[in-house]
Homo-oligomer: A and B are copies of this chain.
Amino acid sequence: MQWDAWGDPALAAPLSEGTSTLIRGMLGVSGEITLPTLDPSTVTVSPSCLSDADLAGLRGIVGDGFASTADADRLLRAGGKSTPDLLRRRQPTQDAPDAVVLPATDEEVAALLAWCEENRVAVVPFGGGTSVVGGVDPDAGRFRAAITVDLRRMDALIDLDEVSQVATLGAGVTGPDAEELLGERGYSLGHFPQSFRFATIGGFAVTRSSGQASAGYGRFDDMVQALTLVTPRGTLVAGRSPKNAVGPDLRQLVMGSEGAFGIVTRVSVRVHRVPAVTEYEGWRFNSFTDAAAAFRAVAQEGVMPTVMRVSDEVETALNLARPTEIGESSDDDLPDKQVPGGCLAITTFEGSPTAVAARAGVVREIFTAVGGQSLGPGPAQAWEHGRFSGPYLRDALLDIGVGCETLETVTSWANLDALKTAVTAALSEALPEPTVVMCHISHTYATGASLYFTVVYRQDGEPLEQWMAAKRTVSQAITDAGASITHHHAVGRDHRPWLSAEIGELGVDALRAVKDVLDPAGVCNPGKLV
């Protein structure tokens, strides 16, 4: 992962001159690039607050090669990958953690937590660094320094129970590594969020990640069977059986804890055999309302595809107009004429031939009844091909002075239209005209669905404050609309101001009580969640 942009530089997708000109013209961008990318060697990194003795203490725990106060190491963990993060990375001076440590065992993590308590140092757990809510910001809180605990060395497939189909993975295993480790044995995790290529198992758990195949394999919090949470007070292992009635479900207390209760070091997750068959099908609906009605009917019947998503009219039109930039389809597969003025939905089905045919048949009947028209496999295959490429576009747009950010929420079916209208209005009002607001449904439940928005807008002179103000406006609009402040991006630092509106002061008090008992000194990820 690059220090100042999404992902792998080899996969970056600069805009063509023609596309640049088109977008600038459409949004009224002057052409002045306000914030160019920087060479990291020219950046001033805030100096480490740790002494040589501190560094020696950390190296005593994890080994000499696995604790560093070097600028380059610290800069790589300076933050996550939200648009504010990317804008901050384009500043000449950078905040960064005071050290980076890479433990390899639960015992080392426990010793690090004890060292930090004793030495009044905050601890920020770090997986893939893909947070878009400030979840890995090196915030020292009331402590004298903050160290980032990078979990990449905890990268093993610790156990695979092929009978129960449960894999135990180290917290630092990335999405692709999980698929590779499991794939060698004929299994798959099936968790594919857009951050898949970089994000880690531990991060998926503590942020309640939801992947593109959530319709088939569930959210990550559905998949988790057990977690090991190393806290300053000791180690908590949550989850002894698939489901039970042994009081409140502590797994569901550890998941979503975002490093504030301790560090998750290993996770046992449900896996499945690599599917025998995958069937793809794209659909056209006359409107987003029709598509939502079809998705609702499918979820309420309870027979689900593996992937089921639909773009609204704007996102459908833009994906078709600029397919290579958005990276989600290609002209060959999907001629414009197939989706005139409508919405593109895609489905995939994975499983045994009989089960895939059965599920696809039920979904096809429901979609057809709501006016859906099958477009064949092309659109869904094209989507799968480009599905992790979206974030690269944002960096390319920033280079030409165009802001691009995503946000997501979730509500009941009855409230979905009102929420979509409210968010679109809030973004349009908060940002300079004309904005482009696109939306899709990518996670569908019997009782409601997520809405995932992408907004593209003209940056003004203070791009960071411009977006932060818009984010405040739209967050308040989401809360006022009765929806959740986040469906799968977590709370982190950025959504904290809306937490008590969502779960109540008493709910916040309950979480603080848990934090106080597990992390009495408060060293665990200060400023995040609670």
Contacts and interface: CB of A to CB of B under 8 A. Distances in A.
A354 B365 contact: yes
Contact of A243 (B161, B231, B272, B487): B487
A171 interface: no
B258 A165 contact: no
Interface in A352-389: 352, 354-355, 358-359, 361-362, 365
Contact of A504 (B225, B236, B488, B499): B236
A390 interface: no
A510 interface: yes
B355 A303 contact: yes
B242 A448 contact: yes
Contact of A248 (B231, B256, B412, B495): B256
A206 B132 CA distance: 35
Most buried by B among A219, A250, A359, A488: A250
A270 interface: yes
A241 B503 contact: no
Interface string A256-290: 11100000000000101100000000000000000
A341 interface: no
A18 interface: no
Size class of the contact patch on chain A: 35 or more
Interface stretch (A174-182, A207-215, A466-474): A207-215
A518 interface: yes
A410 B362 contact: no
Contact of A514 (B351, B361, B514): B514
A443 B243 CA distance: 10
A185 to B, nearest CB: 15
A529 B250 CA distance: 14
Contact of A506 (B235, B270, B506): B235
A429 interface: no
Interface in A503-525: 503-507, 509-514, 516-518
Contacts of A219: 243
B506 A233 contact: yes
A240 interface: yes
A188 to B, nearest CB: 12
Interface stretch (A106-114, A148-156, A478-486): A478-486
B234 A412 contact: no
Contacts of A513: 513-514, 516-517
Contacts of A484: 240-241, 244-246
Q: Which of A296, A495, A503, A529 has the most CB of B within 10 A?
A: A503
A301 B233 CA distance: 40
Contact of A253 (B245, B246, B248, B502): B248
B209 A245 contact: yes
A343 B371 CA distance: 46
A302 interface: yes
B506 A246 contact: no
20 contacts: A163-B413, A163-B414, A165-B300, A165-B413, A207-B245, A208-B245, A240-B483, A241-B487, A242-B412, A242-B445, A243-B410, A245-B486, A245-B487, A245-B491, A246-B485, A246-B503, A248-B511, A253-B253, A302-B351, A352-B362
Which 9 A-B residue pairings sit nearest by Cβ, starting from the closest?
A252-B252, A358-B358, A244-B484, A208-B245, A242-B445, A164-B412, A241-B484, A513-B517, A163-B414
Interface of A: 161, 163-166, 207-210, 216, 219, 221, 225, 231, 233-238, 240-250, 252-258, 270, 272-273, 296, 300-303, 351-352, 354-355, 358-359, 361-362, 365, 409-415, 443, 445-449, 482-491, 495, 499, 502-507, 509-514, 516-518, 529-530
